[in-house]
Amino acid sequence: MPVNPRLNKDQMLQAEYEYISKNVFQANEDRSRFSSYYFVTVGSFVAAVLGTQFEGETKAISLAFFFLFLVLTFMGTFTLSQLARLRAAWHEAVEAMNMIKEYYIKHNPDIEPAFKWRPSSVPKTNKPYSIANLIATEVTMLSALTTGAGVYFLLNFLGSANFVSWIVVAVSVVGGFYAQWSWYERLLVDDQ
């Protein structure tokens, strides 16, 4: 006859809680790492652009910089996607931790005051002025600027660098910000 191991529910719940808390920590670490990588990459490329001597083949240089800033814009979109999914993963993990807390509160009502975050008080995924929100805003702003820079170099390549082109660049920056932020908010939904 097979022996059934005894399940210690407290140890199992404690192990689950520790696993979830490690996931929360890792999601926060990953958000910081992804955004730092993006900032350093963009900064390096901008330094390269500013250090370039614009002599001779300016059309070829403008086309190359257009593609460079197009790639940086896509990198910004991917970075925002990662930040959004990591924030959603953090949120899902906090909700899972709250399920365990609620179980213990139900069976031990005297511990209820020890917990600040309960299912009704968990911060929203897009909580204004949270670190996650501020990092996403920085990436969105920088990505919008790379969009504008790309449009500028494309217009320069096409030979239409005039006052109207600066309006087009400004509109592309605003449109780039709006499109990127909308994408970020779309990906913040839990359970995707």
What is the per-residue pLDDT for 73? Answer: 94
* Low-confidence stretches of the chain (pLDDT beneath 50): 192
Domain boundaries, the chain: 9-49+56-187
Give the number of residues written for the chain.
192
Apex CA 71: angle with CA 136 and CA 56, to 5°? 130
Please give the C-alpha separations between residue 112 and each of 20, 57, 98, 99, 177, in angstroms, as whole numbers: 20, 71, 12, 13, 43
Q: What is the pLDDT of residues 16-71, one digit of tens each?
A: 778 878 877 787 777 777 778 788 888 887 777 777 665 666 788 888 889 989 99
Q: Write down the pLDDT at residue 39.
A: 81
